[in-house]
Amino acid sequence: MELPNLTELDAAAEIVHSVMPPTPQYCWPQLSSRVGGELWVKHENHTPVGAFKLRGGLVYLDDLRRSQPGIAGVVSATTGNHGQSIAYAATRLGLKSTIVVPHGNSPEKNRAMQAFGATLTEHGHDFQAAYEHAMALAERENLHPVRSFHPLLARGVASYGLELFRAVPDLDVVYVPIGLGSGICGVIAAREALGARAEIVGVVAANAATYALSVAAGKPVPTNSADTFAGGLAVRVPDVAALDMVRRHAARIVTVSEAEMREAIRILFSDTHNIAEGAGAAPLAAALQERDRLVGKKVAVVQSGGNIDRALFTEILAERN
């Protein structure tokens, strides 16, 4: 994947900002005291779909509408946030959207996708199975397949990286969750285009460690399962283009446990009164894990989304740290 230049990224950001304002980034003092540095949170939980993914969907489907004006509909697979993004953007442009989710997917995310206009289909036991079914539907029903990673998705997502680096230009390190890779690739693109110096650290769930394993091996290493409550991180097979960018530009990959993400959800709520889903809390979990190397530094964590089911959130809050 070729890195987009600043002109291209600003054009994508203009599309995003025609629909939603920039999200805030705040330095939270209680979080800062926990790591011994200055800790900023980029609040992607404040978008119209409650997650960063909307940015990519807006840019991708805007390009699709312009390049293929006769297209009738799109199909994609998701565990929630990507699907909400595609449904929202498709409806806005007058396109039909079909979204495939695995069985047992978050009922609240499912309802949100339907509310944004998607036709919902359940298939398979995890994201990979849902993805393969979505690609088969694209072929059978002549729908345009929207994969979960594409350079245009990353270009749209990079708009939050531009916002963050322009607001806090002297960051030392940024922790970014990795699902299929659009988030971290977008932050990398924004950093390179602006000439920022921050280290970019990818964060994965220990139970869905395909990117950590692949970076260590220097080649794609699929896993047999991705058994994590953090649906946004539940990926078994890395995207080759995203993996290449992560290998070349990320400082390292940190793996966090289920317990660490649950604790980070509680901390974000108690210290900032923001709600985080598992993937959205993973960067803070990684920063807390690496607190010894963050003393005196200026750090950002990307709270990538807040779409957690009420029952699960209640269960996590009731646990003790």
Per domain, the residue ranges of the chain are 6-51+151-318, 54-145
The model's pLDDT over 10-28, given as tens digits with 9 standing for 90+, comes to 999 999 999 999 999 999 9
Mean pLDDT over residues 39-45, rounded?
A: 98
Domain 54-145 sits in CATH 3.40.50.1100? yes
**Residue 6 vs residues 39, 54, 159, 166, 186: alpha-carbon distances, Å:** 26, 20, 10, 12, 12
95 has pLDDT over 80: yes
Q: Which of 3.30.1490.20, 3.30.470.10, 2.60.40.10, 3.40.50.1100 would CATH assign to domain 6-51+151-318?
A: 3.40.50.1100
Rounded to whole angstroms, the Cα distance separating 174 from 300 reads 5
pLDDT, residue 2, reads 85
At 321, the pLDDT band (50, 70, 90 cuts) reads: low
Mean pLDDT over residues 149-173, rounded?
A: 97
126 has pLDDT over 90: no
1 has pLDDT over 80: no
pLDDT, residue 153, reads 96
Q: Do 6-51+151-318 and 54-145 come out as alike in CATH topology? A: yes
287 has pLDDT over 90: yes
Give bridge partners of residue 99 from the DSSP assignment: 76, 120
72-81, 195-204, 226-235, range with greatest mean pLDDT: 195-204
Task: Give Cβ neighbours of residue 5 (< 8 Å, ≥ 6 apart).
Answer: 193
Rounded to whole angstroms, the Cα distance separating 150 from 114 reads 23
98 has pLDDT over 70: yes
Q: Is the pTM of this model over 0.75?
A: yes
